[in-house]
């Protein structure tokens, strides 16, 4: 086994994912370059990857969110941008972890809609969603209907 010397120690990396009709990753990248003071910014197909000191990254993220708050989503990333262990340029195919992101990208439009609606509405007036732990038993009349439907 060889010794491991880490890079980018003390830095944080964040994904900025944009799902918007008005803003593209390129627009965000230009704005990020304008306000950045030494952070590493990488443009991707879905948004940006930003690496730098925590305060600096948080400042850039807060500024970028203002552009389209309901359509820009942010999450932490463990690896720095372009890391050979994760970057698809070295591995080929989709980056490990991209499948999860891709799946959630199909749901993000509903979340954006929810955020937009709740800008003008109190969340307390919205009924709670169905409890996923409750498994309702099959109603006996519905079971009868199913049986008759099968027999006829």
The correct pick among 96, 143, 145, 147 for binding other proteins (CB under 8 A) is 96
For the segment 26-85, give every residue that binds other proteins (CB under 8 A). 73-79, 83, 85
Q: 101 CB contacts (<8 Å, ≥6 apart)? A: 15, 17, 46
CB of 141 to other proteins, least distance (A): 26
DSSP string, 6-29: -SSTT-EEEEEEE--SS--HHHHH
Confirm or reject binding of residue 110 to other proteins (CB under 8 A). yes
Confirm or reject binding of residue 126 to other proteins (CB under 8 A). yes
- Could you report how far apart the first and last alpha carbons of the chain are, in Å? 70
Buried residues in 93-132 as b, exposed as e (16+ CB within 10 A): eeeeebeebeeeeeebeeebeeeeeeeeeeeeeeeeeeee
Q: By C-beta, is 27 or 77 nearer to other proteins?
A: 77
DSSP 8-state secondary structure symbol assigned to residue 40: E
- What is the spatial distance between Cα 11 and Cα 2, in angstroms, rounded to a whole number? 24
- Name the residue among 29, 73, 23 with its Cα closest to residue 50: 29
CB of 6 to other proteins, least distance (A): 5
CB of 12 to other proteins, least distance (A): 7
The correct pick among 34, 92, 103, 136 for binding other proteins (CB under 8 A) is 103
Q: By C-beta, is 27 or 58 nearer to other proteins?
A: 58
Stretch that binds other proteins, among 20-28, 29-37, 122-130, 136-144 (CB under 8 A): 122-130
The residues of the shown chain that bind other proteins, judged by CB under 8 A, are 1-6, 8-13, 15, 17, 73-79, 83, 85-86, 96-97, 99-101, 103-104, 107-115, 117-118, 123-124, 126-133
């Amino acid at each position: 086994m060889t010794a491991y010397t880490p890079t980018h120690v003390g830095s944080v990396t964040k994904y900025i994912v944009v799902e918007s009709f008005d803003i593209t990753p390129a627009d965000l990248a230009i704005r990020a370059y304008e306000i950045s003071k030494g952070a590493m910014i990488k443009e991707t197909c879905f948004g940006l990857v930003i690496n730098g000191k925590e305060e600096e990254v948080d400042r850039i993220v807060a500024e970028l969110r203002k552009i389209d708050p309901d359509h820009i989503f942010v999450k932490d990333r463990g690896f720095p941008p372009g890391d050979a262990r994760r970057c698809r340029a070295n591995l080929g195919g989709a980056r490990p972890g991209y499948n999860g992101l891709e799946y959630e990208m199909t749901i993000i439009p509903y979340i954006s809609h929810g955020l937009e609606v709740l800008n003008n509405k109190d969340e307390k007036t919205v009924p709670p969603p169905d409890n996923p732990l409750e498994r309702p038993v099959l109603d006996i009349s519905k079971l009868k209907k199913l049986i008759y439907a099968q027999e006829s």
